[in-house]
Chain A
Amino acid sequence: MLQSAPALEIRELTKRYDDGTLALEDTDLTVPDGAFFGLLGPNGAGKTTLINAVCNLIRVTSGEVLVFGEPADTLAARRSVGLAEQDINLDRFLTVEETLVYHGGYFGMAGDEARARAADMIETFDLRAKADVRTPKLSGGMRRRLLLARALMHRPRLVILDEPTAGVDFELRQELWTYIRRLHEEGTTILLTTHYLEEAETLCEEIALIRDGELIARDTAEGLRERYGGNTLADVYVKAMGMPVP
């Protein structure tokens, strides 16, 4: 594997859905290896579409997606990505523990290793009491935690979190950020979308702003504040989203 390859390289990505919606048009984006990267934009901007293109979940119309230098549809690329989707998508037939172990299995882990890792994740995400409970019986916050644990289960080098804190209480949010920060410090690349701009501002080293399927800016939070002349990222956001594309 190329040591120097960026975690994510998107070239001229276009996605037109079958109903004609043009969700992304000629989008280019590079996320360096080891970055904590934020992707911000209003509802319907194309964030989830971009993520789904990386995770083999949509049929891209045109363009190229490379994960650590490998085309996104290769097995090597697939294995290096962990995704926590915006909408909760758990297997209703499985318990919490099974959810993690089977996911590990799908991603190529051996049984013993997957079980040991699942036990760790269950501890870390405070799901011990529910380990043998089937997923439809979890509370919303527990489902969100399980979704994150599942994304991290196979130790991906690139973790994609699509609004991981939506509908999550304050305490859990703080815990999640502590956890995700630590993951990042250990070398994992993080791609995050969130509508909590203060969170993005404190966490992300770099931020891309996306609107109507186009990337309109990409910089550090500080760089964006200077460029748009705002005191906070929220100011920047309001200006960027209201302004015509430069």
Chain B
Amino acid sequence: MAQLDSLRKQTADEPALAPAAGDVGPADGLGGLAWLSRREILRVWKVWTQAVLAPVVSSMLFILVFGVSLGGRIREVAGFPYEVFVVPGLIVMAMVQAAYNNNASTIYQARSDRYVNDVLSAPMKPWQMNLGFNVGGIVRAIAIGAFLLLLALPLTGVGVAQPLVLVPAVLFGVVLFGALGTVVGIYAEQWDHTTFISNIVILPLAFVGGVFYSIDLLGSPWHELSHFNPVFYLVNAVRYGFLGTSDVSVALSLGVTAALAIPTYLWAQYLFTSGRRLKA
């Protein structure tokens, strides 16, 4: 029997089974955070065709169909050719949807396979678990955004006018929707619950959030109502980062996005700290 043979072999070497003091690093949980983050990135990598390639292809189709082909027939929007105007919103929506979907599915699967217990029982602090489980969506979103930018750049000529606005805008947006995914994935009792939020909340808000048009084109009350849509601020902050133009003040756009991202992340943190929904 192989097992018994190897037991004998181990006896000959060293006490392979017994606890050995001092063969582990300091008990600060940082190594655990690094490995959990790595696991979340590995998960994205192992399914990269679905996780990264598919959203890049579908967003490129949007850019080609809505922008390049319809662009010739639609007049300029906010002083930009239409194919340039739509790119920022399409990129950021692809990013935040990926962040949401990724994080909702990773924690939901971890709960339903109960593998999450391997992390919950590990010597890690709740903030490390929360951050680790959020990393995958952030990395995946950034990968999608980078690919789309590389493809859209030569096709449409869109540039990055305000990188110092673009980076925080994208980061807040990705954290907002990534953390929302984590929260929904923790509360969901069935997988449908996570797709429900995606289809009923995120997608409609994106469609009326000024991805495809400037709200200046809208009449009352749609123009005013748009100001209650959080995605509107995200899209405008990101559009300002790319094009240097926005329907509202940049500070307001960034402020609203951050003001939503931070509590949402803290909500996820609360779930890890209290164990609510994660532990019976």
**Which A residues are closer than 8 A to B by beta carbons?**
17-18, 52, 55-59, 75-76, 78-81, 83, 85, 87, 89-94, 98, 102-103, 105-110, 113, 120, 123-126, 128, 150, 152, 154-157, 171, 175, 178-179, 182-183, 186-188
Contact = CB atoms under 8 A, between A and B. Distances in A.
B150 interface: no
A71 to B, nearest CB: 13
Contacts of A182: 7, 17
B2 to A, nearest CB: 4
Contact of A110 (B10, B25, B119): B25
Contact of A52 (B23, B38, B46, B280): B280
A80 B19 CA distance: 9
B46 A93 contact: yes
Contacts of B32: 105-108
B127 to A, nearest CB: 13
B207 to A, nearest CB: 33
Contacts of A187: 18-19
Contacts of B43: 93
Interface string B1-37: 1111011011000011111100111111101101110
Nearest to A23: B280
B105 to A, nearest CB: 11
Contacts of A17: 280
Interface residues of B, number: 50
A89 B124 contact: no
B244 to A, nearest CB: 41
Contact of A152 (B17, B28, B110): B17
Nearest to A21: B280
B44 to A, nearest CB: 10
B263 interface: no
Contacts of B2: 123, 126, 128
Given A92-B115, A109-B24, A109-B25, 14 more contacts: A18-B280, A79-B27, A85-B117, A90-B115, A91-B39, A106-B36, A120-B16, A123-B6, A124-B10, A126-B6, A175-B4, A178-B4, A179-B17, A182-B7
Contacts of A89: 113-115, 117-118
B123 interface: yes
Q: Which 7 A-B pairs have the closest CB atoms?
A: A105-B35, A186-B18, A78-B123, A89-B114, A75-B123, A106-B122, A79-B123
B113 A92 contact: yes
Nearest to B46: A93
B223 interface: no
Interface in B192-248: none
A107 B123 contact: yes
Nearest to B17: A183
Contacts of B280: 17-18, 52, 57-59
Given A79-B123, A108-B25, A155-B20, A102 B39 contact: yes
Of B6, B36, B43, B125, the most chain A CB neighbours within 10 A belong to B6
Contact of B7 (A58, A75, A91, A179): A179
Contact of B34 (A105, A120, A150): A105
Contacts of B27: 75-76, 79, 108
A126 B27 CA distance: 31
